[in-house]
């Protein structure tokens, strides 16, 4: 039907041209030659249309790409040789992706970000209400309605605002109310508010001041510097931080782990690893009070039981539910949850003392620790969706004691399993990157195992599962091998980076750039799966996907994240380095996705 319509249209055009030709010649021979020439042209046009499915429009003007849409180079999202543009797509609620539009309509396909442009960053993170980044100089910038408040388009700042400077920040971790920052050089940890109207106080309000908790290098921004309950060793410093919804965990260069509650709900599921902490006894006083944060499972063991079981068990044991906060002061006088001085001391986790930890990661209400020796994983905290990965036999909703996650159950016999990385966003799902090695041989593969809440397909095993207690393999990216041309052998395809959001979608970067063959597009393949309600998977659709897919550009080619050397400037536009190695990094945020240029360390 479609092809015959095109043929008739082409013939009609040829007939029109025949009238023009025949009208311009009066002789009979010329007219016959003209008709023959026109007939030959019509046959050629019909044959060409039969071989091609594209509509030929000779008089159509060249389509100029819009400024807000990236111009792909091959299969990459690069608009120029030295260009360092960020790419965004998904939900634009609270103007986290774009501040120019008054309507927070979702971005269906990847396009250039007007907020982050022509710069490389040390780190970037977003929440549902605001975004934070660290530029090349280590200064913090913030934006979004959750930071500046809902403003009109004329009053809304077009660019992120600098908040904390001069601290050489290397990484950040976000909560709904606070921004946690780690200094690269000193290893100190700072906390500042996520709201601009709570940063402009300079010193804390009241008649007293905390000289240890703030300095005058940023008089316009109120922030604190965290302390530890034990003294660090000489040359020991903090190297990584991770924040859940209400708690913070940190790792030192010696492998010691620390935690801190960010609100009164900081240990609601036992994710803190301890109970007794010191907080301010009064919001207008610097004095401290010792409190005990009791997990839900300890203060009311039968909270989730049926009314019959709950009544019978409580009558037999004659137990009285414990309060959530045990303190000598009234709970109403304790500082509010959004107060950055709620708790200013990091506490070493008692159960992990003497264990050399290589990585510690915080989920929304969970904590995971990976040991240096053997790559074993310990998990504790909330377990309603099986996000601790303890298997189907552990049905407790909360586990307050670090418990080992066993990966050998999903591997064949004679295989050694070692965890090499953990990825857990501020949600109820976690990913383990596990290396499988056959004993007695050099054969090894890498599996991505997921567990937790997979209602929207975030588990990646092809199913929509509300709860997954046993770590399950993520399809398409687990056990993949590639042929190495130099050695003529098969090698495992490693995972370069995993980023997951609290709303249930994941972006995974394959390490395909190191061994790209000649003639291929150098870069790292990007795959996505999970929730897609706000177009956050970047395929222009809204159907959630329980299986990973390769992200493609407008031409249908796979997106390849690039690595290159380029001149780098800071967020203010001042040159920082004439040539530095940068790489495209994918970040999964609440309902949105961002690909930005990150400085390689």
- pLDDT at 269 (0 to 100): 94
Does 562 map to a domain?
Answer: yes
pLDDT exceeds cutoff 70 at 67: no
Q: What is the mean pLDDT of residues 25-53?
A: 44
Question: Between 63 and 463, where is the model more confident?
Answer: 463
Average pLDDT for residues 92-114, to the nearest whole number? 82
**Can you say whether the dihedral through the CA atoms of 92, 97, 102, 107 is positive or negative?**
negative
CB 42 within 8 A of CB 10: yes
7 assigned to some structural domain: no
Identify the residue whose tokens are 């913090």. Answer: 140
Q: What is the pLDDT of residue 358?
A: 98
Q: By mean pLDDT, which of 32-36, 313-317, 558-562 is the weakest?
A: 32-36
Contact 325/331 with Cβ under 8 angstroms? yes
- Is 376 contained in some domain? yes
The total of structural domains in the chain comes to 1
Per-residue pLDDT reduced to its tens digit, 286-316:
778 888 898 987 777 666 666 765 565 555 4
- In degrees, rounded to 5, the angle at the alpha carbon of residue 413 between the alpha carbons of residues 410 and 417 is 55
Q: Can you give the pLDDT at residue 81?
A: 63
What pLDDT does residue 103 have?
61
Mean pLDDT confidence for 217-244: 90
Q: How large is the average pLDDT for residues 90-95?
A: 90
Residue 82: pLDDT band with limits 50, 70, 90: low
Helices 2-23 and 28-51 cross at an angle (nearest 10°) of 160
User: pLDDT at position 216, please?
Assistant: 39
pLDDT of residue 44 exceeding 50, the answer is no
Q: Is the pLDDT of residue 393 over 60?
A: yes
Q: Is the pLDDT of residue 204 over 60?
A: no
42 belongs to a structural domain = no
Task: Read off the DSSP letter of residue 198.
Answer: G
CB distance 419 to 433 below 8 Å: yes
In a domain, 353, yes or no: yes
Question: Which of the listed ranges 2-11, 108-117, 333-342, 473-482 does the model predict with the highest average pLDDT?
Answer: 473-482
Report the distance separating Cα 416 and Cα 440, nearest Å. Answer: 10
| pLDDT over 50 at 46, yes or no | no
Inside any domain, residue 259: yes
CATH of the domain at 394: 2.130.10.30
User: Is the pLDDT higher at 313 or at 520?
Assistant: 313
Contact yes or no for 490/483 (Cβ under 8 A): yes
Task: List, in sequence order, every residue forming a beta bridge with 390; answer none if it has no partner.
Answer: none
Reply yes or no on whether the pLDDT at 594 is more than 90.
Answer: yes
Least confident of 42-51, 113-122, 177-186, 339-348: 42-51
pLDDT value of position 523: 86
Q: What local confidence, expressed as pLDDT, does residue 159 receive?
A: 84
Round to whole Å and give the CA distance between 235 and 49.
Answer: 73
The more confident residue out of 455 and 487 is 455
Q: Residue 588 — very low, low, confident or very high, per pLDDT cuts 50/70/90?
A: very high
Residues 6+ apart with CB under 8 A from 520: none
Average pLDDT over residues 519-547: 89
Q: What is the pLDDT of residue 237?
A: 97
Number of other residues whose CB lies within 10 A of the CB of residue 482:
14
pLDDT digits (tens, 9 = 90+) for 395-449: 899 999 999 999 988 888 889 999 999 999 889 999 999 999 988 888 899 999 9
Please, what is the Cα angle at 32 between 30 and 36, to 5 degrees?
115
pLDDT at position 370: 98
Task: Decide if 451 contacts 483 (C-beta within 8 A).
Answer: no
- CB of 367 closer than 8 Å to CB of 259: yes
Measured distance CA(112)–CA(518) in Å, rounded:
30
pLDDT computed for residue 337 by the predictor: 84
- Mean of the pLDDT values across residues 543-570? 91
Instruction: Indicate the pairing of strand 227-228 with strand 345-348.
Output: parallel
Question: Which residues, listed in sequence order, are joined to residue 179 by a DSSP beta bridge?
Answer: 174, 192
More confident residue, 397 or 17: 397
**pLDDT over 90 percentage in the chain:** 57
Q: What residues make up the domain containing 430?
A: 85-202+219-309+322-599
- Predicted pLDDT of residue 491: 87
Inside any domain, residue 74: no
pLDDT at 107 over 70: yes
User: What integer best gives the mean pLDDT of the chain?
Assistant: 81
Assess whether pLDDT exceeds 60 at residue 68. no
Residue 315: inside a domain:
no
Mean pLDDT of 369-387: 96
Q: What pLDDT does 33 receive?
A: 47
pLDDT value for 304: 67
> Are 359 and 256 contacting, i.e. CB atoms less than 8 angstroms apart?
no
pLDDT in tens, 453-485: 999 999 999 999 999 999 999 999 999 988 877
């Amino acid at each position: 039907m479609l092809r015959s319509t095109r043929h008739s249209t082409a013939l009609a055009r040829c007939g029109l041209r025949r009238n023009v030709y025949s009208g311009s010649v009066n002789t009979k021979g010329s007219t016959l030659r003209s008709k023959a020439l026109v007939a030959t042209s019509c046959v050629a046009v019909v044959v060409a249309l039969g071989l091609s499915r594209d509509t030929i429009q000779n008089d159509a003007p060249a389509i100029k790409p819009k400024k807000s849409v990236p111009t792909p180079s091959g299969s990459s999202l690069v608009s120029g040789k030295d260009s360092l543009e960020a790419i965004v797509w998904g939900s634009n609620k609270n103007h986290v992706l774009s501040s120019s539009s008054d309507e927070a309509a979702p971005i269906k396909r990847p396009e250039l970000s007007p907020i982050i442009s022509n710069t490389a960053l040390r780190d970037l993170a977003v929440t549902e209400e605001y975004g934070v980044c660290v530029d090349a100089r280590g200064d913090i910038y913030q934006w979004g309605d959750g930071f500046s408040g809902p403003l009109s388009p004329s009053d809304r700042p077009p660019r992120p605002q600098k908040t904390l400077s001069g601290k050489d920040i290397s990484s950040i971790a976000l909560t709904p109310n606070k921004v946690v920052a780690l200094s690269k050089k000193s290893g100190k940890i700072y906390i500042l508010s996520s709201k601009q109207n709570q940063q402009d106080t300079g010193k804390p309000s009241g008649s007293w001041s905390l000289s240890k908790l703030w300095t005058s290098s940023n008089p316009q921004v109120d922030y604190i510097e965290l302390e530890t309950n034990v003294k660090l060793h000489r040359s020991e410093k903090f190297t990584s931080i991770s924040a859940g919804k209400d708690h913070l965990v940190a790792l030192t260069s010696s492998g010691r782990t620390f935690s801190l509650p960010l609100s009164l709900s900081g240990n609601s599921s036992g994710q803190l690893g301890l109970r007794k902490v010191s907080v301010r006894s009064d919001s207008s006083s610097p004095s401290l009070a010792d409190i005990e944060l009791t997990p839900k499972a300890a203060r009311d063991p039968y909270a989730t039981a049926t009314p019959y079981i709950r009544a019978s068990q409580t009558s037999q044991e004659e137990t009285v539910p414990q309060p959530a906060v045990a303190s000598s002061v009234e709970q109403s006088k304790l500082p509010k949850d959004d107060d950055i001085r709620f708790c200013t001391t990091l506490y070493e986790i008692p159960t992990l003392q003497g264990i050399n930890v290589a990585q510690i990661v915080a989920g929304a209400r969970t904590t995971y620790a990976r040991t240096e020796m053997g790559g074993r994983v310990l998990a504790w905290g909330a377990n309603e969706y099986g996000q601790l990965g303890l298997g189907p036999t552990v049905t407790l909703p909360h586990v307050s004691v670090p418990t080992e996650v066993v990966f050998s159950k999903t591997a064949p016999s004679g295989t050694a399993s070692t965890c090499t990385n953990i990825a857990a966003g501020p949600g109820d799902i976690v990913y383990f990157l596990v290396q499988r090695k056959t004993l007695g041989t050099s054969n090894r593969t890498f599996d991505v195992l997921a567990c937790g809440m997979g209602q929207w397909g975030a588990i990646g095993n092809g199913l929509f599962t509300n709860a997954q207690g046993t770590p399950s393999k993520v399809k398409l990216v687990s056990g993949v091998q590639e042929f190495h041309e130099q050695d003529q052998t098969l090698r495992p395809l490693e995972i370069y980076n995993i980023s997951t959001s609290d709303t249930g979608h994941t972006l995974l970067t394959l390490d395909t750039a190191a061994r790209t063959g000649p003639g291929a597009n150098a870069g790292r393949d990007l795959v996505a799966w999970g929730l897609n309600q706000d177009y956050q998977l970047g395929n222009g659709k809204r159907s959630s996907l329980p299986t990973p897919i390769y992200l493609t550009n407008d031409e249908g080619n796979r997106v390849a994240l690039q690595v290159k050397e380029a001149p780098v400037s800071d967020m203010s536009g001042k040159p920082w380095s004439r040539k530095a190695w940068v790489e495209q990094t994918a970040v999964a945020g609440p309902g949105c996705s961002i690909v930005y240029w990150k400085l390689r360390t």
